[in-house]
Every structure is written in structure tokens, then in C-alpha cells.
Chains A and B, each alone.
Chain A
Amino acid sequence: SAVISQKPSRDICQRGTSLTIQCQVDSQVTMMFWYRQQPGQSLTLIATANQGSEATYESGFVIDKFPISRPNLTFSTLTVSNMSPEDSSIYLCSVVWDINTGELFFGEGSRLTVL
């Protein structure tokens, strides 16, 4: 199994500011994803964090709003830029545990409230 630590676990932010979420994994992993979980909704994939290259974003998500870094195989950051109340969500870091089946491990999540 993998242990995934996310920081911060929760935060309250002001409109127009930016916040960076950190994800640390206790072992080297190839595939890391960032998900958004809005209240009452499913998990939505934001992007795949690629080590050594630019992240791969899903439809509806752009690098200017959600810049992602992946400096090595155990660490990634997601920044939520120029926040608005609509960005209030849980942001989840996950790693692919089994590339053949898509089984994922998740971090504890970062719960953001934007006022």
C-alpha cells in the first residue's frame, strides 16, 4: 500500500487569493492524479501530474487556474489560483496502485472554503 499525506487538510481562503496543496507519497509512483470533489457530486479528474513534464489537464481545467508541479516521483503540488467561492471543494491527490486495473490510493483530501 501507499501512504499519501496532503497539506493543508483544510483552509478558509479569501476570494482572489491562491492556495497551494502539497501531496507527499511514501514510495515512488509513476502516475499521480488530482481530483476535485464538489459537495454532493462525484469525483472529477482535474489532471494527471507528470514527473518532469507539464501536467495533462482534463476538459474544463486549465493550467493558469490549476498549475501543477511534479518535481519527483514522490511529490506533487496543486495550486488553486485566483479563487472564487465556486472553488470551494475537497481536492484529492491520488496515485495509481495498479496500472493494469486503475486501482487508486487517495490522500486524506484538502477541504477548501472560499469566502
Chain B
Amino acid sequence: AQSVTQLGSHVSVSEGALVLLRCNYSSSVPPYLFWYVQYPNQGLQLLLKYTSAATLVKGINGFEAEFKKSETSFHLTKPSAHMSDAAEYFCAVSGMGGGSYIPTFGRGTSLIVHP
């Protein structure tokens, strides 16, 4: 079984400030982890993914996430927020080996960026 918890349905930051979106997961097997972004009136697109290589993963648009097994976390960060980062962000988990390859998604976190 696998599940994802995203803390905070909304996160509000000022332009130029640090972005931190939290994701905790549970999985009975080693996980694959993903962050997807959904801009207004669009589908989801992949930001970055963890697939058991480096624990610090860099993605598009300056985002990165760190896999911490001891904390079962995969938080998403960006050093400096841009107005264009305003979107819905989804964390997802799927299972390696005998786990389900069909990802389970979190509830999403809406990032609001103030000028």
C-alpha cells in the first residue's frame, strides 16, 4: 500500500522568497517519487522525479527535492519564487519491485506568489 500526504493545501510566499512544499509518503516497498505541477487550465506536467539514484533531485524551473528515507519525506524547494510559479503542485508515489507502478497522488498544494 502507498499513500502521500501534502501538508498545507495553500502556501503563500512573496516573490523572491524561498518556496517549500512538503510531501510525506508511506510505501511498503522502496518508492519512486514525483512532483507534478498544474498551471491554470492545463494538465499536469512532471517537475522532477526520484528513482533511487541521487537523493537530491533537480527539476525544471529551478525546483529541487530531497529524498529522505528516515523522514519518509520528499519536500520540494526553490530558492527564489517567481510570479510564474503560481500553480497547483502534486506529490506522487509509486512502488519499486513488487509495489504498484500506478502512482498515488497527494491532495495538492496551491502555491500563491505575492508581488
How many A-B residue pairs lie within 8 Å, measured between CB atoms? Answer: 58
Q: Which residues of B contact A33 (CB under 8 A)?
A: 102
Q: Which residues of B contact A102 (CB under 8 A)?
A: 32, 34, 92, 94, 100-103
When the two chains form their complex, are residues B103 and A42 in contact, meaning their CB atoms are under 8 A apart? Answer: no
When the two chains form their complex, are residues A43 and B90 in contact, meaning their CB atoms are under 8 A apart? Answer: yes
Q: Which of B43, B92, B105 has the most chain A CB atoms inside 10 A of its CB?
A: B43
Q: Which residues of A contact B106 (CB under 8 A)?
A: 42
Q: Give the number of chain B interface residues (Cβ < 8 Å).
A: 23
Contact of B107 among A42, A45, A48, A107 (CB under 8 A): A42
When the two chains form their complex, are residues A96 and B108 in contact, meaning their CB atoms are under 8 A apart? Answer: no
Convert A87-102 into 0s and 1s, putting 1 for each residue whose CB lies closer than 8 angstroms to a CB of B: 0000010101001111
21 contacts between A and B (CB under 8 A): A6-B43, A33-B102, A40-B9, A42-B105, A43-B90, A43-B105, A92-B43, A92-B44, A96-B101, A99-B101, A100-B101, A101-B32, A101-B101, A102-B100, A102-B101, A103-B34, A103-B49, A106-B36, A106-B45, A108-B42, A109-B43
